[in-house]
A and B are shown apart, each in its own frame.
Chain A
C-alpha cells in the first residue's frame, strides 16, 4: 500500500483585494490564450484572475478551484468533468440582477472582464452545504423515491411535497426582472451546411467551398477547430492549430462561405430546415449598443454534413463524481488549449489507446503522471514504454474502484489485475472509456442510431434526407479519417447541389491508434458510482430499476431519470444502457437507445421570441383615426389585431359607463362619428360577379340596382351563419362586400375557396380593399347636416335623392374621390363615408369640425355595441358558429328562388327544430337590476339542470335610451313568448334574476328615424 500525501489543492487561492490575482495552476507558456490580456472575475464573491480566451471553467482550474457546485439530489461536491457543452456538473449562475442566468455551463461560458458567477444548489455555502445530509440518507433517495414516498395523501403532493422537493433538489434561480437585452432572428440559406468545425467539418467546408457551393459552417465553440485545438496534433507537417487557422483563412476568403462561431446547431427539422442559436454578445459583460444578445438562425440547406464530433465516456466507479475526476480529453483540452493544469499529479484511468495520449501532454505541461491504469490486460508496447519513460506506474488489467478527498480528489483506490488493492495519491484523475459519436442531431427526425460493434458505440444509421455524417460523428475516429471523410462528404454534398466537387487530398497526420474495449461498470466499486452526474443517477439505481422490472430503455429512463437532465444524458446514456445490458444478459443494441430531441443544448426562450415580446408579441393594426384618438385620450380595445377606440372619456366623466351613455345619447339626439375601417371590404368585379354573390349570400341580390346597398348574410356549407355584412353595387359588374371585423380574413378565405375551388368557371376578380379605404359611420339626426359640410358641393344628399341604402361615388376636400353609403347599424339616420386611407386622418377631423355646430361626438366600439343591442342586431356573440339564420330571426329574408351555400344543410331536422333557441330581447323585471351575458334561462321555479336549460343571454348593455339594462339572448321558441318571464341564472357571478322576454328591437321599432 503506497500513500503519498498531497497538498490540499482545493484551498482557496482567491486574491486579496488590491493584489494582482495569481493563477497557480496556469502553465508558464503555451495554450491558445492571450496571456497579454488578463481578466478578473468573481466566483461566489471571491476575486480571481484569468486571461482572454479562457472559459470560466479553465479560469477556475487555473486558480485551483475544483469544487464548483453541489449535485442535484444528494448535494455532493462536484467539480468540472468536461471542457465542452456536454458538461453535467459545473453549472453556475452567471451574471446578476436582470441578467442572472441559471444553469450555465462553466465549460462553455467565455471569460470576460468582471464576470460574476455563483455556485448553485448549496446553502449556506459551497464548502459547507446543509443539505449534504441528503447524501447520508442516500439509500432512501434512490430511483423512484418520489413515487414511492410521496404517494399519500394525494392532496399533499401539490401543496407540500412538490414545493419541498423543488427547494431541496433544484438548480439555479432565474432572474426576476425582465431581460434587458434584445434577441434577434435571421434566416439563412445555403447549398451545404456543415455542422461542426473540427477536422472533418473544416475539410467538408473547404471541399464544398472550393467547388463554388454556398456553405455555412456552424460551430458551438468560440474557437473553431474541434480536437485540433485541444490535442497536440500534426497536419501536413504543421500543428493542428495552424492547419485550422490556414483553413479558416481560406474559407474566409470565399465570398459564399459563412462561418458562424459561437453558434449551436440545436435542432434538425423537416425539409432541410435547421435551428441554430448564435451567442452574439454572451462573451461580453453586456451587449454593445444596438447589438443583440443572441441571434436565432433558421437555416435552410440543400445538403448538410454532420461533423459534430464525439463525446468522451466516463467510467462508472465508486466516487467517480469527486472534483478532480475528469474526462481525459478534457484534461488535454485544459493543458493544451488553455495552458491550465487540472492537477499537478495526474492519474489516468483508461480503456482506450486514445487515453494514453494524455500522458505526454501532462508531462509536456510540466506536471507529473502518477499512474496509468488500463482496464485491458495488454496494450501496444509503444503506449506502455512512453508512459514508463515519463515515470508513470503502469497497471494493466486493473481498475479504479474508489476515490478519496473531502471536497476534491487527493487519492484513488486501485485494484490491480491480480486483485491487490492500492491507494495512489493524485489530485486529478483522467478517465478515457472511448467516445460516442454525437448522434443527437441525426435522431431529431425520429431516426434511431445503430450499434457499431467495432467501435462499441452508436453511429448514425439512415440519415435524414440530404444529410451525411463525417469524422468522429460517423464513427471515424482517427484524425486522418476525419480529414478524409469530411473532405469526401463536403465534395459529395457540393456535387449533389450541381457543383463539381472533388475530395481534397488528405494531408499527412501524425500516427495514432484508437483501439479500445469499454468497461461499462467497474466491479467491486466502493461508494456510489455515478452514471448520470447531473441527475444524480448511480449504477445502483440502474440495478434497482432492473430488480423492480423497469428494464425497457424508456422505462429505465423515466424511473431513474437517467438522461433526463438538461444535458440529455450526453455523458451518461450509453453507460446506463451498458449496465442494463449486462444485467439482462443482452447485447446493447437489444436494450435499445433513447431518442434525442431538440434542442441539443438549452436555448433561451428569449432567443425564440426574438423581436416579438411585449407590445411586439404580435402585430397591432391602427385605424386611420388613430392619431386623433390618441390625442384625445381614447381608451382602446383589442379586436383581433386591431386596436380600436372603445370610448372617448371627457373631463368630468367619472367612469366608462357615463362616457358611453353620453356618446349614445349624443348620437341618438344629435350626431356622432365612429371609425368602422376595421370592417373587411372586398372588391368584386367581373362578368360573373353578381352570379358569385348570389351563390355565396343566402339572401337575394338579383334585384339590387346600381347605386344601392343591401344587408347580406353568408352561410357556411353546413348551414350555420358564417358572417353578415353589406353588399353595395357600385357598377353593373362592380360590387363591394363588407364583413365584420372579427371575420374579415375568414370571409375573404371563404370567398377565395369558393372562387378558386368550387366555381373556377366563374369569371370574376376579387381583392381586399380593407386597407385602401378609411370608413367612418356618421350617425344621428344631424348626420346629413354634418356631411353636407364635408362632401364637395353639388351632391344632393336629400332623403329623396339619396334614400336609405343608397350608395354613390362622391368627392371630398375639393376632389378627393370618396364613397358614400347610407347604411345604419345604430338605427339612426346614418351614413358611412369611405375616403382613401391617406386622407382618413383629415376626413375624420373634417367630420368633427363640420359636426361641431351640431354637437357631434366621436363614439367608440362600446357605444356602437350598445346601439346595436338597442336595435336588436346580431353580432359576434350571436353569430357564434352555432346559430342559423332562423335562430337569429333572419330566416324570413333568405332567398327561395336560388341556390346558395348552406341552403340544403340549413334544413337539417336539428336546425329547423321548433324548440331551438331563437333570438329575442330581455329586460329585467326589476328595472334596477343588471343583466349579465352568459346567464342561462330557466323556467321560474325550475331547478337548475342541463335538462331545464332553455338558452342563454348573449349580449347585454345598459341602455341610456331606456334607462335600464337590456339584453339579447337565444331562448326556446323565443318569438312566441314575448311577455313571459324566466329566470336568468348566473351561478358564476351569483346572478339569479327574473327577466321578461320581449322584442329584440328596443329602440324605434318602426324605423322612423332611419329613413328620414
Chain B
C-alpha cells in the first residue's frame, strides 16, 4: 500500500505550483486608454512574506527591542509603516502589525524571536498584494479610498486599514512618487481587480509581475 502511495507522490510533484492570487483576473500588458504613457502601473506581488504580529499584554517595549535585535525592525506607531527596502512592519490596529518581507523565508524565524512577547500568524497566502505607481496613482486611488491621500495628510510611511469598493484593504505609501502598496483578502482578488481595472482604465494602465513567481 505504501509503495503505491509513494509512486503517486512522485507523479504529483509537478502539480505543486503555487497559484498567484491574481491568476485568472489580471493580465500582464497595457490596458485601458491607449496612447501616451500609462498613467498607472500595477505590479502584482506574489512572493512576499506576510505575518500578523499581535503583542502580548504589556510587552510592547520588549517586543520592540526583540525585533530590533532579531530583524533590525522597529514598531511603527499608529497609522505608520516602518519599512527598509521591501521589509519591515506596518501598523494594522491597536497592538497589531503586519510584518512584510521580500521573501517568505525571511519571516521563518520571526515567531521564535518574539516568543512570549507576541503571537505570529502567517498571512503570506491570505492577502493579494498589488503595487500602484505611475503619475496618476493618487488620483486613481481617490476613486476608491475614502481617506485623504494628499501629501499633507498621507505621505511616504503612512499606512491605513480601510475599505475600497466595499472590500477591506490595507494600504501603505512607499515613497513620494507616490508609490502605494495595497493588500486585500485573497478571496476578494477577482472583485477587487474588477474595481481596480475599471478605476485605472481612463488613465491607461500597465500590469506587470513583481519579482518572484
Contacts and interface: CB of A to CB of B under 8 A. Distances in A.
A686 B119 contact: yes
A765 B19 contact: no
Contacts of A836: 18, 122, 124-125
B16 A846 contact: yes
Given A291-B202, A763-B57, A836-B124, A771 B17 contact: no
B126 interface: yes
B73 interface: no
Interface stretch (A329-337, A611-619, A927-935): A611-619
Residues of A contacting B: mostly: mixed
B201 A846 contact: no
B165 interface: yes
Interface string A816-850: 10000000000000000000111111110110011
B2 A616 contact: no
A769 B118 contact: no
Interface in A563-610: none
A814 interface: yes
B193 to A, nearest CB: 11
Interface stretch (A180-188, A315-323, A650-658): A180-188
Contacts of B121: 683, 685, 767, 769, 772
A788 B1 contact: yes
Interface in B122-136: 122-127
A623 interface: yes
Interface in A417-472: none
Interface in A616-639: 616, 618-624, 626-627
Interface string B91-134: 00000100000000000000000000011011111110000000
A383 interface: no
A189 interface: yes
Contacts of B5: 785, 788-789, 793
Contacts of A291: 202
A803 interface: no
A792 interface: yes
Given A292-B202, A816-B16, A838-B21, A619 B143 contact: no
Contacts of B118: 765
B33 interface: yes
B18 A771 contact: no
B185 A616 contact: no
A642 B13 CA distance: 30
B185 A771 contact: yes
A289 interface: yes
A406 interface: no
Contacts of B187: 621-623, 642, 677, 771
Contact of B125 (A292, A766, A837): A837
Nearest to A766: B54
A897 interface: no
A186 B143 contact: yes
B119 A813 contact: no
A358 B147 CA distance: 48
B178 to A, nearest CB: 15
Interface in A123-181: none
Interface residues of A, number: 65
Interface in A765-818: 765-767, 769-773, 785, 788-790, 792-793, 812-814, 816
A143 B32 CA distance: 54
Nearest to B195: A611
B16 A813 contact: yes
Interface in B1-49: 1-2, 4-6, 8-9, 11-13, 15-21, 23-24, 32-34, 46
Contacts of A816: 16
B52 interface: yes
A188 B142 contact: yes
Contacts of B127: 771
A214 B123 contact: no
Contacts of B189: 622
A290 interface: yes
B153 interface: yes
A612 B163 CA distance: 14
B190 interface: yes
Quick one: which of A186, A618, A771, A816 has the most chain B CB within 10 A? Answer: A771
A291 B12 CA distance: 47
B158 to A, nearest CB: 14
A898 interface: no
B127 to A, nearest CB: 7
Nearest to B124: A836
B15 A771 contact: no
A11 B123 CA distance: 75
Given A619-B166, A621-B188, A813-B13, A839 B143 contact: no
Given A619-B165, A772-B123, A290 B195 contact: no
A611 B199 contact: yes
Contact of A772 (B34, B125, B153): B125
A842 B13 contact: no
Interface in B167-213: 167, 185-192, 194-195, 198-199, 201-202, 204
A874 B188 CA distance: 29
B16 A619 contact: no
Nearest to A850: B8
Contacts of B33: 289-290
Nearest to B59: A763
A92 to B, nearest CB: 29
A627 B186 CA distance: 14
A325 B61 CA distance: 78
A785 B8 CA distance: 11
Interface string B135-159: 0000000111111101011000000
Given A793-B6, A839-B18, A849-B15, A763 B56 contact: yes
B146 A627 contact: no
Interface string A876-894: 0000000000000000000
A622 B167 CA distance: 13
A837 B12 contact: no
A686 B120 CA distance: 11
Contacts of B15: 842, 845-846, 849
Contacts of B153: 189
Given A184-B143, A187-B146, A842 B201 contact: no
A814 B199 contact: no
A558 interface: no
B54 A767 contact: yes
A813 B198 CA distance: 37
Contacts of A618: 166
Contacts of B32: 290
Contacts of B24: 626-627
Q: Which of B55, B147, B194 has the most CB of A within 10 A?
A: B194
A84 B151 CA distance: 37
Contacts of B2: 788, 793
A182 to B, nearest CB: 7
A214 B55 CA distance: 39
Contacts of A622: 187, 189-190
A298 interface: yes
Contacts of A290: 32-33, 201-202, 204
Most interface-central of A290, A770, A841, A849 (chain B CB within 10 A): A290
Given A627-B19, A685-B54, 4 more contacts: A642-B187, A770-B126, A814-B13, A838-B125
27 contacts: A187-B144, A214-B150, A291-B202, A292-B202, A611-B194, A618-B166, A619-B167, A619-B191, A619-B192, A621-B185, A622-B189, A685-B119, A765-B118, A767-B96, A769-B121, A770-B126, A785-B1, A789-B5, A789-B12, A792-B9, A793-B5, A840-B125, A842-B15, A842-B17, A843-B16, A849-B15, A850-B12
Interface of A: 182, 184-189, 214, 256, 289-292, 298, 300, 611-612, 615-616, 618-624, 626-627, 642, 677, 683, 685-687, 763, 765-767, 769-773, 785, 788-790, 792-793, 812-814, 816, 836-843, 845-846, 849-850
**3 shortest A-B CB distances, which residue pairs?**
A813-B16, A789-B8, A772-B126
